[in-house]
Amino acid sequence: MLYCEKYEMPESLECALELLAHAPEGSRLIAGGTDLLPWAREGRAGDVALPMLVDITRVSELDGFEPEGEKIRLGANLVFQKFLEEKSLGNSLPCMPFCAVWFADDQIREQATLVGNLVNASPAADGTSAMLALNGIVETARLDGGKVFRRQVSVDEFVMGPGRTALNSDEIVTGVLCDDLQGYGGAFEKVGHRRSLAISTVCAACLVKPSEDGRTFDDVRLAMAGIGPTPVRLIRSEMFLKGNEISARAIASASEMTAGLVKSRTRKEYRSHVVKGFIGRAIANALENLGIRLPEMEREDRAYA
């Protein structure tokens, strides 16, 4: 069970930072709470008695999303369901609607925030691979001398290991900046013990942009989670495909460049097999979502379901 002595719901970022700065040791900050509540209920830490919970869901500054130049800023309170409901958001971040479909179920998607998924820093978190592929930058804020100080850190530097991030104890994540990739095709692949409400064994995010004539890859983004302590970008495969022909042969060659990627201690052989298959499947699906289909490519859509 989860207990707390005080439950605070500040309505401004400054107030939330002030509460956090003076909170007793062991206090927690929450938005959706979809990780905290099951953790307590399942008894992994016994009965959990917290001195204070600071709920930031009323901080309007952390809501919604907005364009910022060539990027999109996602507020810390943005829930996964919005990637399915907001067409403009899905157009700008083409892998995120597919990521959201795989994420838990309808009720949890209405409550769970993308930022909470990043801060939780699970090696298999669905959102981390997608944000890595989108060149995500985490924004934080802290209070010092009555003034709010902000900083930015890239997602690959923010997630440091299982349950570990670069977030300091006096900081709040205020949002994430992502590349606006309108015109790209997106895909998200995931395998677990069942389709939803399951921790990923492996998950992959893919974004592709074809050339104007549709014959070559202009840009490719590939990222995976669940294969090691942190999500990884598949730089070698990306660089090979950029400028290369859009063909089953090129995709198959890129899929072969995954040797040594799997760092997990368990099910290593299985994960290595899945990684190789996911590269081809994710790229093919991302292309297909742009209306580009490769009929000569062997598709194994059921192999990892």
Q: Which residues contact 67 (CB under 8 A, 6 or more apart)?
A: 73, 92, 180
Confidence at residue 199, expressed as pLDDT on a 0 to 100 scale: 56
- Is residue 198's pLDDT more than 70? no
Confidence at residue 44, expressed as pLDDT on a 0 to 100 scale: 56
Confidence at residue 299, expressed as pLDDT on a 0 to 100 scale: 47
**Domain 60-179 belongs to what topology?**
3.30.465
- Is residue 85's pLDDT more than 70? yes
Query: What is the chain written as a DSSP string?
Result: -EEEEEEE--SSHHHHHHHHHTPPTT-EEESS-TTHHHHHHTTBTBSEEEEEEEE-TT-GGGSSEEEETTEEEEETT-BTTHHHH-HHHHHHSTTHHHHHHHSS-HHHHTT-BHHHHHHHT-TT-HHHHHHHHTT-EEEEEEEETTEEEEEEEEHHHHEEETTEES--TTEEEEEEEEE--TT-EEEEEEE-SSSSSS--SEEEEEEEEE-TTSSBEEEEEEEEESSSSS-EE-HHHHHHHBTSB-SHHHHHHHHGGGTT----SSSHHHHHHHHHHHHHHHHHHHHHTTT---TTSPP-TTTT-
Confidence at residue 46, expressed as pLDDT on a 0 to 100 scale: 61
- Is residue 304's pLDDT more than 50? no
Could you state, in order of their start, the residue ranges of all structural domains in the chain? Answer: 2-55, 60-179, 185-300
Residue at token pair 């299982």: 162
- Is residue 301's pLDDT more than 50? no
Strand partners, 205: 188, 223
Distance CA 146, CA 152 (A): 20
Task: Report pLDDT digits (tens) over 267-289.
Answer: 777 777 788 888 899 999 999 99
Please tell me if the domain spanning 2-55 has the same topology as the one spanning 185-300.
no
Least confident of 90-94, 246-250, 300-304: 300-304
Q: What pTM did the predictor assign? A: 0.90
Confidence at residue 300, expressed as pLDDT on a 0 to 100 scale: 43
Query: Would you place residue 2 in the very low, low, confident or very high pLDDT band (cuts 50, 70, 90)?
Result: confident
- Is residue 303's pLDDT more than 70? no
Percent with pLDDT over 70 in the chain: 89
Confidence at residue 41, expressed as pLDDT on a 0 to 100 scale: 65
| Selected residue with higher pLDDT from 54 and 38 | 54
Q: What are phi and psi of 11, to 5 degrees?
A: -115, 5
Q: What is the CA radius of gyration of the chain?
A: 20
Confidence at residue 32, expressed as pLDDT on a 0 to 100 scale: 86
Confidence at residue 302, expressed as pLDDT on a 0 to 100 scale: 37
Percent with pLDDT over 90 in the chain: 70
Quick one: 185-300 is in which CATH superfamily? CO dehydrogenase flavoprotein, C-terminal domain (3.30.390.50)
Confidence at residue 93, expressed as pLDDT on a 0 to 100 scale: 98
Task: Report pLDDT digits (tens) over 218-257.
Answer: 999 999 998 889 999 999 999 999 999 999 999 999 998 9
pLDDT, average across residues 103-121: 91
Confidence at residue 33, expressed as pLDDT on a 0 to 100 scale: 82
Q: State which CATH number among 3.30.43, 3.10.350, 2.60.120, 3.30.70 fits the domain covering 2-55.
A: 3.30.43
Burial class (CB in 10 A: 0-12, 13-18, 19+), 269: exposed
pLDDT, average across residues 152-179: 96
- Is residue 295's pLDDT more than 80? no
263 C-beta neighbours (distance < 10 Å), count: 13
Query: Would you place residue 31 in the very low, low, confident or very high pLDDT band (cuts 50, 70, 90)?
Result: very high
Q: Return the closest-CA partner of residue 70 out of 90, 93, 96, 98.
A: 93
